[in-house]
Amino acid sequence: MIAVFAPGQGAQSPGMLAPWLELDGVAEQVAAFSEATGLDLERLGTSADADEIKDTAVTQPLLVALGVIAAAQLGLDTAAEHAPSGLCVAGHSVGELTAAAVSGALRPIDAVAFAARRGSEMAAACALTPTGMSAVLGGDADAVVAAIEAADLTPANRNGAGQIVAAGAQSALDTFASEPPAGARVRPLAVAGAFHTHFMAPAIEGLQSFVDTLDVADPRPILLSNADGAAVDNGAELIARLVRQVTLPVRWDLCLRSCADLGVTAVVELAPGGVLTGIAKRELPGAELVAIKTPDDLDKARALFESRPQHGQGEHTPEVRIVVTPTKGVFTRAESLDEGSQVARGARLGTVRTNRDEHEVLAPHAGYLAEWLRHDGDIVAAGLPVARMSDALETT
């Protein structure tokens, strides 16, 4: 299987759109995107400096515009029509909108317009309270997450390969930086605020009113969600997730685990590529990787697609879902339930005990327990992934 990744905020660079404008039809695409967003994307992508394009309201539509342009050059804008089972797509943060366009769930122009509205709503939310984000470098991953939560912050990005980002109130970030977790360093990031935390809640209402105007289709091929790495196959669910995701952590680590479960052996990262293939190099060892940075990289991506024959329409692609906790507490697995076990929909997979109650963790659908993600006695937050399920028994 081939995965197509779309990068998120931070991947932008001055002039990144310029070489693409030399390709047939791209200038017309950019003009249409500019009209839909009210932004001069051609100028922003060619002559604007780094400070101007790091503005959240600008960065997000510019990134999605470039991503869907690159996808169209590869013929991926027709993926929904042909629905190849040998392809999955995923995007990091705002890159999920690019992925939605590649999957056919959104028209490319609607994905770019969505990104513009998302960027402006999030920028407005950032202006309400002094917040920020900091990268936590080194240390034990579980210990780092626990320290972040103990500091009243959110692990807003868990990217795999030990890359974790803390987000929240600026005062809490300052205190956290002065007392970092053991073996870790804290580096402030130059961002407008605490993305993917509850501080972005004011953006929800504006985004919901916007998406209510969109025509949405079911995603084809498979689209992996940042929320939990689950494969989403329903357009309404996808849109609801895209709106909520501005307040939820990016679990790119779980998207990568889903890629491994799906048997991904090659990755193409859409422009401006490089960041996500760098992570995949460590998290998907042995996978063939192509990062599209300029049009010169398109032939490498085309050659990769041509070398990997797609499965036929009748072949089944395993459905992968994440089981999450209903509340905060202490997790305990169900007795005698091992990885590989077959479970019925609604079967008890474990419990979460609070100071007052015990809550069941139930299987969201029938299938097989692919992997435990938490151990007995682990302290878990509400919505934390504890297990992965597949509708097909994995074999090696």
| pLDDT on residue 188 | 94
Q: Bigger pLDDT: 392 or 30?
A: 30
8-state DSSP, 182: T
Spatial separation of the C-alpha atoms in residues 302 and 290, rounded to whole Å: 10
Q: Give CA–CA dist 258/222, Å, rounded.
A: 11
Residue 314: inside a domain = no
CB 119 within 8 Å of CB 206: no
The residue-averaged pLDDT of 333-342 equals: 92
Domain identity same for 231 and 86: yes
- The per-residue DSSP string of 256-288 comes to HHHHHHTT--EEEEPSS-SHHHHHHHHHSTT-E
114-121: average pLDDT: 98
Same domain, 92 and 240: yes
118 and 260 co-located in one domain = yes
Region 360-367: what's the mean pLDDT?
88
Whether the Cβ atoms of residue 11 and residue 271 lie closer than 8 Å to each other? no
Q: Please indicate, yes or no, whether residues 259 and 299 belong to a single structural domain of this protein.
A: yes
Query: DSSP 3-state assignment of 178?
Result: helix
Domain boundary among 256, 286, 307: 307
Residue 221: asked if its preceding bond is cis (omega within 30°), the reply is yes
The C-alpha angle with vertex 116 and arms to 115 and 122, in degrees rounded to 5, equals: 85
Does 113 have pLDDT greater than 80? yes
Q: What is the mean pLDDT of the chain?
A: 91
Residues 171 and 144 in one domain: yes
Percent of the chain with pLDDT over 90: 74
Is 390 designated active site?
A: no
pLDDT for residue 82 is more than 80: no
Predicted confidence (pLDDT) per residue in 193-207, tens digit: 999 999 999 999 999
Mean pLDDT across 118-145: 94
Q: Is residue 113 part of a domain?
A: yes
Domain limit, last residue, from 307, 335, 359: 307
What type of residue sits at position 188?
Answer: P
Nearest to 244 by CA among 217, 207, 269, 210: 207
What are the tokens at 9? 């905020």
Q: What is the 3-state secondary structure (H, E, C) of 186-202?
A: EEECCCCCCCCCHHHCH
Q: Name the burial class of residue 104, with classes exposed (0-12), middle (13-18) and buried (19+) by CB atoms within 10 angstroms of its CB.
A: buried
Among 94-103, 255-264, 360-369, 375-384, the minimum mean pLDDT is found in 375-384
pLDDT band at 1 (very low <50, low <70, confident <90, very high): confident
Decide if 333 is inside a domain: yes
Q: CB count, 10 Å around CB of 213?
A: 8
Q: What are phi and psi of 301, to 5 degrees?
A: -70, -40
Same domain, 44 and 143: no
Regarding whether 121 and 37 lie in a shared domain, the answer is yes
CATH of the domain at 179: 3.30.70.250
User: For the residues 387-393, what does the mean pLDDT come to?
Assistant: 79
Per-residue b or e along 115-147, where b marks 16 or more CB atoms closer than 10 Å to that residue's CB: bbbbbbbbbebbeeeebbbbbbeebebeebbeb
- Report the chain's C-alpha Rg in angstroms: 21
What is 3-21 written as a DSSP string? Answer: EEEE--TT---TTTTGGGG
Pick the last residue of a domain from 159, 193, 227. Answer: 193
- Note whether residue 395 is domain-resident: no
Q: Is 13 a catalytic residue?
A: no
In a domain, 28, yes or no: yes
What are the strands, taking DSSP E only, across the chain? 2-6, 87-91, 131-138, 154-160, 163-169, 184-188, 222-224, 231-232, 266-269, 288-291, 320-324, 329-333, 342-343, 348-353, 358-362, 367-372, 379-380, 385-390
Domain containing residue 378: CATH number = 2.40.50.100
Distance CA 133, CA 149 (A): 14
SS3 158: strand
Residue 83 has pLDDT above 50, yes or no: no
- 156/42 same-domain check: no
The candidate with the shortest Cα–Cα distance to 216, out of 111, 76, 367, is: 111
pLDDT reading at 383 higher than 50: yes
Question: Is the pLDDT higher at 374 or at 315?
Answer: 374
Amino acid 71 reads: A
Report whether pLDDT(85) > 50: yes
Do residues 120 and 220 both lie within one domain?
yes
Q: Domain for residue 105, yes or no? A: yes
The answer to whether residues 159 and 11 belong to one domain is no
Judging by DSSP bridges, how do beta strands 320-324 and 385-390 pair with one another?
A: antiparallel
Residue 60 sits in a domain of what CATH number? 3.40.366.10
Q: Does any domain span residue 59?
A: yes
pLDDT of residue 114: 98
Model confidence band, residue 78 (pLDDT cutoffs 50, 70, 90): low
Question: Among 230-244, 306-320, 323-337, which stretch is predicted with the lowest mean pLDDT?
Answer: 306-320
Among 75-89, 189-203, 371-385, the minimum mean pLDDT is found in 75-89
Domain assignment of residue 183, given as a range: 128-193
- If asked whether residues 163 and 113 sit together in one domain, one would say no
Residue-level pLDDT at 81: 55
Statement: residue 393 has pLDDT above 80: no
Evaluate the CA torsion angle 392, 82, 35, 52 in order and state its sign.
positive
Do residues 395 and 368 lie in contact, with contact meaning Cβ atoms separated by under 8 Å?
Answer: no
Residue 27 has pLDDT above 90, yes or no: yes
> Do the domain assignments include residue 293?
yes
In the chain, the number of structural domains is 3
> Cβ neighbours of residue 294 under 8 Å, at least 6 residues apart?
19, 20, 271
Query: Which burial class, exposed, middle or buried, applies to 150 when counting CB atoms under 10 A from its CB (0-12, 13-18, 19+)?
Result: exposed
- DSSP states along 221-261: SEEE-TTTSPEE--HHHHHHHHHHGGGS-B-HHHHHHHHHH
Q: pTM for the whole thing?
A: 0.83
How far apart CA 291 and CA 276 sit, in angstroms, is 8
Residues 103, 196, 225, 390: which is the catalytic one? 196
Of 93, 103, 225, 258, catalytic: 93
Are residues 112 and 207 part of one domain? Answer: yes
pLDDT at res. 162: 76
